[in-house]
Amino acid sequence: MNPINIQKMAIAFALLAFGFLAIGSVLAGSRVITGVIRGGLGALIFGGLVWVVADLFLSEDEDAGIQDMVNEDNNPDKGEQLDETA
């Protein structure tokens, strides 16, 4: 996955957490400044958590293309599939 997409996903989760915590806190009876602080901390925690987890599990392996390639000089199966009837 592209690093820009991982950052966009983390920002989306951070904004969702901010809105949920800030509005939920105000509706539950806290003051507005307390709700904004809770929302900001929740956005930092959940956004950072999603960013780290997505970066670990969704980023492409740098050596993936190199591991799949077989070097022609060191191939032990070289000549195994040849036609032996000739």
Number of compact structural domains in the chain: 1
Are 15 and 43 in contact by the 8 Å Cβ rule? The answer is: yes
Assigned domain for 67 exists:
no
pLDDT in tens, 8-50: 999 999 999 999 999 999 999 999 999 999 999 999 999 999 9
Q: Read off the pTM.
A: 0.66
52, part of any domain? yes
Range of the domain at 26: 3-59
- In which residue are the tokens 């602080």 written? 37
11 belongs to a structural domain: yes
Is residue 70 included in any domain, yes or no?
no
For the chain, give the mean pLDDT: 84
CA–chain centroid gap for 41, Å, is 21
Residues 6+ apart with CB under 8 A from 52: none
Q: Is 85 within a domain?
A: no
* Residue 15 domain flag: yes
Q: Is residue 49 part of a domain?
A: yes
Separation between Cα atoms, residue 3 and residue 37, nearest integer Å:
28
